[in-house]
Every structure is written in structure tokens, then in C-alpha cells.
Amino acid sequence: MRAKLQFTLIILFSVLFFFPACSEKAIKPLECDLIDDVLLKYQVLTKRTETNLLDFSSPGSLKHLRKGWSKREGDFIWALGLTSTLDFYSFDNFQDKKIEITCAPLVYSEFKNQKIRISLNNEYINTINLKNGMHAYTSMLPDSKLRMGKNELRFDYAYSTKIPGPDKRSMSVRFESITFENNHKSRKDYLILTKSGNLKQYPGSSFTYANRFDSPARIIIDYKAKGNIEPVLKVSKQGHPSFQRTLPFNKSHVEYDISLIDNAFVKMEFILSGDKQKGSIMWKRIVLCAQEVAADKTNNVEVLDSVVADYEFERVNKPDIVIYIIDALRSDHLGCYGYERNTTPNIDAFARENTLFTNAFANASWTRASGATILTGLLPKNHKTMAQDSVLPADFITLAETLKEQGYYTVGFNTNGNVGREFGLVQGFDKFVSLPEDLERESIHVRSDVLNEKIFEFLNRFYQRPKKQPLFLWIWSSDPHDPYTPPSSVSSYFDIDKYEHLDPKFRLLSEFTKKVKENQFAWPSQSAVNYLKTLYDQEILFNDISFGKLIERLKKTELYEDSVLILTADHGQEFREHNWFGHGKTLFNEQVKIPLIIKAGDIRKGKIGINVQHADIYPTVLDILKIPLPYNIDGTSLLGNIDFLNRPIFAEQKLDGHDLRSLLVGDIKFIHNLNNVSYLHQARHENIFYEMYNLLKDPEEENNVVDRENISSAYFKQRLAFEYSLLRRMFDVKSERTDIPPELEEKLRALGYIK
């Protein structure tokens, strides 16, 4: 009996200790400097499966469409113009593939014989002659022309024409569906992430990882193959030929070196084909490590010396702090940012004496989200104040609260109801003066000269106190926010009479977009747009005059000399650069690029070209005062030595059906349209999901260079998704909503904030 017990215990201990030890040895510990772990980024990897059906009654089919398509119209989609292209995926290219196209020619055309000429991967396949009405047509895609993974179909049409009526599009064929015949049953899940972090992949699928390297790398892969399959690793390097490796079936560990690349993009595709019933592969580890090479001591980045030089500054002991925010002021309408009109002589003089950031960005393109970011140092995703009825959660510690704890007297003067008491942005203020909108007043907003009067009254009383606390003064001025009603003192400036005048009711910019979308109004002429811009510039000039008087008063009260003074805007303003008017619609620069000028101690004066953002204001103020942050935030102090060239600048918009995210790294801006809704700025009403712009070559953001074949596009798409998903998950704070009071709702509706 004892012998049996001993034998049982030996077996038990063997199971508990020996076999786990064996499994641990199956994957050797890494002995290199880890660059990246691909499987950890599984959630944002680009995953593809074989295309079976494009049903245009489903929004999911639109992701395959490229050029020459309308937005989805119920259960169909129009081909626009003479050519349309789409992508599909195939991972079994050993036999021809049949497709079935269900479509109908345009019935209003005077032509009768509509044809579709089909090309596969730029090679002609077949031509089909369409009959009147909706019919299904079949065609064969030869295996000799099919590619492993992504393929392109091109449809060329015999004619394209417009239908009678207001619709100006030139249409060709109406498509209901495209079916790709596969000789197997499709799986529900081709890629399954296990609890242990392994990735199980079935044939008929691929996933893609993209990164950017400035040194040689080695990819290390541990896997286990099953069944008759062919796993392929395809590595594409920007500016270099791609290389492809079929992973050996009888191995479980491979390593490949990726040669030295000078800060270039690399894309790795993991493609699996083969037995779709019994085959699979288990990816246990996919990592990138640094190759052991001698460090290049001479390759210094000179641009860092000229752009990100260390700031020389003196942290002053509790200086007075003033933040002056000008609502809806885009940076390219200021003289100090290169504008040809003399709209801002006082701000220009202030900029010459202090530090001007030439590339400053709002993290959202509307008022409340931007105000909350400035006060918290958090991106909108994290402060959760993004919707019309959003309230800034009390859990967050605002800049006013932090300064109040440090002995500051905190006072705010506000002229925009969107950042008032009802929405939680008064946290930490000892005194908060709201100068509300008035629908009976021509300007609706209180003008900056009246705002100055209230501020001056306060300063007179404050500086008569025998013992003065350090002061935090928060000022929100609303001219040049529309509606545009410049006062008579500036209403004759900038040759306004040479432009076509508009009805005063259309000085509220949101009215244009609303009327156009409802087919009630035509776009104004370019002369009328210039008239609007001139009204806008006149209001900027009026605010500039008020700002100059504020600076004079601060100097008289001896507040100015040792103070920290920050001038910025909450967002910009669009005048149909991308077919919108106003703000809160897009993340293009006319709506998110804003001025940022800082006066603070002995900070190096002049123009600084690094990319900065609203979220940086909070930590910069605390850094000047040597006050620690209350917790980790999204912004970064502008006084530190940071690699600003590679830091990401995020912006987002989730308002009135506009659901957008953007990422700016260096000169490259990448935009993701999450709602899959056609941008109004696209004349053909095409579905635009991703956009990428090189701001150095294309500062107006007119040439969308996103290309699914381009490695850099894949990299920025992945980086936006991954970094956005990781942004400060530590905040377990729920969003808060409020019922907007009827009177305030009426005012916000009059200003275009509520539809």
C-alpha cells in the first residue's frame, strides 16, 4: 500500500513540476532588448478574412469600397462616374473564383447599352452587358491573376450621366450586392486570442502589424502549426523591396533580421492559407528586438537642437497668473502668425516680447470640450465632457482647484454659456462672473470691451486689499464668435464694402450648413464668403483692442511684470475650406489650429515650432510654480526637454453625429471618421473613413494621401487606434449629464450649438 502511495505521489509531483517546467522551456526567455510585442497589440492589429459577400444594405460592406462610389442609400449604392474600384480578400488561390454581381443600369439615361468592363489587379477579365432592371451577373476570376491576401476589382462603365432634378451627381450603375464564391464554409472567427495571450489563426485570414524603426531589428516568432497549412510572413519596408518567408511546418521557432532602416516604416503581414477544415496555427510569441550593433554616436538629430532646445527660465515664487481665451480664433488670422491683414497689432506686440508657439492645436473643435481640457490637462476622451449635455465630472482636479490649494485667489470671467456653472467648469473658482448671452442684443455675446469693464472693476477692488493673495485670473472672451456683428468703431476696416453683403441672419455660420443640407439654400459666393471673413477679422481687431487695454491696466496695477500670462483660443473657425462653416464639425486645421502665446519669467523668447496642445497648459503652469501634478495627466510641460517631434498630438470630436479622431506626429496628420458618414466636404459624397495629410507639403489639407498599400498609412492607422485605446485607462470616472435649463438651451440653439 505504501509503495502504491509513493508511486502515486511521484507521478503527482512529476505532473505538477516536471511538465510545467517542460512547457516553460518550450519558449526560451528573451535575451535581447525588446522593441515591441505584437500579440499585446492584438486589439488594434489590422485583421482580414476572406471576402464572401458585399451586401450594400449593410454598412460593413463600405469598408471594401475605394473610388467612384456614393454613400449607402438604403439597400443599394451608386457607382459614380466612369470608374469604380473595390478591395476584396482571397487566401485560396489554387482555383478560379466565381463572383456574382447584382446590379441595374441607370434608368434615366438616354443610353441603352450599359456595360461593365471588369479588371482584376489591373488586368482585364471580362465585360458584361447589362439588361434593364435589377439582375445578377456572374463572372470568373482566374486563379492566375489572384493575389494572396488583398485584391483589387475595377469596374469601367460605358457611360455615366445625371438624372433630372437637384441631384448633381453623375451616376452609372446601381449595385445591391457582390458575392464571392468560396469552396468552403466561412468561419465565424478566424482569429481567436486565448486567455494565455496566444493567438489562434485559421486559414483564410491575415493580420498586419506596422511600426517605425531607426535601427536594425530582429523578429522572433514561436508558433505551433496543425494540419495542411501554409503560414507566410511578408515584410514590407518603405523604400525597399518586400521579402516573404514561408514558415517551416516542422519548426516551432524562427528568427529573421530586418536590416537597418533610417526611421522608416515597416509592415509585417501574417497570412495563413491551406486546409480550412482541420488546419490552424497557434502564435505563441511574436516580438521585435533590437539587433546588437554598435551605437552611432555621430547621428545627432540637428533639428532637435533648433526646435527643442532646453528652455532657460526662472520659476517665480507664486506669480499672478492670467489665462486669456479668445473664442473661435484661428491662428492664421493673426498678424504674428503671418496674416496679411493688420487684425492683431496688440497681440502681435505681446507675441514679439514673449514666446509664440507656431504649431499649437486644440484637442477638440468646440468650446466645452476644449475648455475642460485646458482646465484639467486631460484629453476629451478622459475628461468625458464631449456631448451637448456633458458635465465635467467633479472627480477631476482642475487648474483652479490646484492653484486655490496653493493660496491663490481664483476668479473667472466668462461670456460663453457652454463653459459656465451649469456644465461643471467652475470647480475651484472663488469667484466666477458669468456675463450671459442675450438674444435681444445684436451681438448676443457680451463684447470684450464690456468684459474689460467688469474685469477692471474687480482689479481695482482686489488691489486695494491690504494683504493680497496671488491671483489666478481666467478670462473667456467671445468676440469673434459668430454671429458677426462688429461694432461701428471697426465696421469699416479691411475694405469690406467691396464684397457681396449677406443678410445679417446668415452671420451665424451654422445656418449655412443647416440650410444647404436641407436643400433650402445655396452656398454663398466667394465674394460673400470674403465678406464673412472680413466681419470675422473686424471682430478679431475689436478683441485685440480690448486685449491691449487689458495689458495696459495690468501694467498699471503692477500685476503684469512678474505675471504668467497665456493667450490662446478654444478652437478655430471654418469658412468653407472643407465645405463647412463654423466649428465642431471636423478636425482640419482651420478648426483646431489655434494661437498659443506665453509670457512666463525668463522663458526663451521668440517663435517655437514644436507641436503643442491645449492639454499642455495645465502642467506648464504647475511646472513654472514648482507644484507637482495631482496625478498623471495627458498634457506635458512645455518647459521640459521632450522629443516633441515624435510625441503624438490627439484631437477628437463627438458631437451632432460627427465622431472623429486624429493623430498628429511631426508633419503627418491622420484622421479617422468613426461614423462612416460621408463628409460634406467631399463633392462626390464618397465615403471617407481615413485621411492622411503631410502638413509640410500640404498645409491646407487638400490632398488626402492615405493609401492602404502605403506602409506609413498602416502605421498611423494602427498607432492612432493603439495609443488612443491606452490613453489613461486609470481614470475610473463615469461621464455625467445634465438637463440644460430652457433659457440656456434657447441661447445655445441661437448660437448654433444645439440643433
Residue 630 pLDDT exceeds 90: no
Residue that wins the pLDDT comparison between 679 and 469: 469
Q: What is the pLDDT of residues 398-447, one digit of tens each?
A: 999 999 989 999 999 998 877 777 777 889 999 999 887 666 677 788 89
* CATH at residue 222: 2.60.120.260
545 pLDDT more than 80: yes
Query: Are residues 599 and 515 both part of a single domain?
Result: yes
Q: Is the pLDDT of residue 540 over 90?
A: yes
Task: State the pLDDT at residue 734.
Answer: 62
**Distance (Å) of CA 85 to CA 63, 140, 693:** 12, 17, 22
Is residue 635 situated within a structural domain?
yes
> Which residue in 83, 107, 82, 113 sits closest to 163, CA to CA?
107
DSSP H or E stretch at residue 717: helix 711-726
pLDDT digits (tens, 9 = 90+) for 283-319: 999 998 887 643 333 332 222 222 333 334 444 568 9
Average pLDDT on 123-150 reads 91
Please report whether residue 326 resides in a domain. Answer: yes
Asked if 111 and 249 sit in the same domain, the reply is no
pLDDT of residue 333: 96
pLDDT band of residue 20 (cuts 50, 70, 90) is very low
Q: Residue 731 falls within a domain, yes or no?
A: no
pLDDT score at 621: 94
How far is Cα 248 from Cα 231, in angstroms, rounded to an integer?
8
Q: Over 70: is that where the pLDDT of 219 sits?
A: yes
Q: Write out the three cell numbers for 383.
A: 475628461
* Domain final residue pick, 600, 616, 644: 644
Q: Is the pLDDT of residue 227 over 70?
A: yes
The segment with the largest mean pLDDT, out of 90-94, 132-136, 306-310, 727-731, is: 132-136
The per-residue pLDDT for 107 is 75
Q: Is the pLDDT of residue 516 over 80?
A: no
Q: What is the mean pLDDT of residues 538-566?
A: 92
List b or e across 513-532, with b for residues whose CB sees 16 or more CB atoms inside 10 angstroms. beebeeeeeeebeeebbbbb
Residue 396 pLDDT > 80: yes
Widest Cα–Cα separation across the chain: 110
Let me know whether 446 and 591 are in one domain: yes
Distance CA 45, CA 725 (A): 12
Tell me if 710 is assigned to some domain.
Answer: no
Q: In this structure, is residue 709 part of a structural domain?
A: no
Q: Is there a domain that residue 152 lies in?
A: yes
Residues of the chain with pLDDT > 90: what percent? Answer: 41
Distance CA(73)–CA(81), nearest Å, equals 17
Same domain, 336 and 240: no
Final residue of a structural domain among 154, 180, 206: 180
Provide the CB-side half-sphere exposure for 548 (13 A, CA).
Answer: 13
Is residue 298, in this structure, part of any structural domain at all? no
| Residue 275: predicted pLDDT | 84
Query: How high does pLDDT run on average in the chain?
Result: 82
**Is 503 within the bounds of a domain?**
yes
Residues 34, 62, single domain; the answer is: no
Same domain, 452 and 359: yes
Which pLDDT score is estimated for 647? Answer: 86
Query: Among 319-328, 448-457, 476-485, which stretch is predicted with the lowest mean pLDDT?
Result: 476-485
Residue 201: band (very low, low, confident or very high) from pLDDT cuts 50, 70, 90: very high
Do 352 and 375 belong together in one domain? yes
Joined together, the cell numbers standing for residue 595 give: 494661437
pLDDT in tens, 682-727: 444 456 788 999 999 999 999 998 886 688 888 898 888 887 776 5
- Per-residue model confidence (pLDDT) at position 2: 47
What is the SS3 assignment for 44?
A: helix
Do 530 and 415 sit in the same domain of this protein? yes
Clarify whether residues 464 and 612 are in a common domain: yes
Beta strands in 622-681 (DSSP E): 649-655, 658-665, 668-673
Return the closest-CA partner of residue 482 out of 728, 750, 296.
750
The CATH number covering residue 344 comes to 3.40.720.10
Q: Does one domain contain both 62 and 39?
A: no
Q: Determine the pLDDT at residue 183.
A: 63
Confidence bin at 604 (pLDDT 50/70/90) = confident
What is the rounded average pLDDT of the residues 7-32? 51
Query: Which is more confidently placed, 462 or 505?
Result: 462
State the pLDDT at residue 23: 42
Residue 10 has pLDDT above 60, yes or no: no
Average pLDDT over residues 460-473: 85
pLDDT for 664 equals 95
Q: Which of 607, 611, 635 is closest to 623 using CA atoms?
A: 635
Residues 179, 181, 184, 186, Cα dihedral to 10°: -10
Average pLDDT over residues 347-361: 95
Of 163, 180, 197, the residue at which a domain comes to its end is 180
Q: What does pTM read for this prediction? A: 0.74
Name the residue among 665, 669, 709, 706 with its Cα closest to residue 269. Answer: 709
Residues 199 and 252 occupy one common structural domain: yes
Asked if 406 and 535 sit in the same domain, the reply is yes
Q: Domain containing 244: what range?
A: 29-46+188-290
How many domains are contained in the chain? 3
